[in-house]
Amino acid sequence: MFEELGDDMLRGGIRIDEFRFVEQVSGGMIATDWFVNNGKWHAIPMYVADTIRDQLPAITLLGELLDPSFEFRFRLMTNDYVKVTYEDGSVKEGYYSTIHITHQL
Total count of domains within the chain: 1
Whole-number Å distance between alpha carbons of 40 and 73? 12
- What domain range includes position 24? 16-95
pLDDT above 90 (res 2): no
pLDDT-based confidence at residue 56 (cuts at 50, 70, 90): confident
Residue 102 counted as domain residue:
no
Residue 8 counted as domain residue:
no
Q: Does the predicted TM-score (pTM) go above 0.75?
A: no
Residue 23 counted as domain residue:
yes
Residues 6 or more apart from 50 whose CB is under 8 A from it?
Answer: 26, 56, 57
Residue 56 counted as domain residue:
yes
Q: How many CB atoms lie within 10 A of CB 29?
A: 19
In this predicted structure, what is the pLDDT of residue 102?
59
In this predicted structure, what is the pLDDT of residue 52?
85
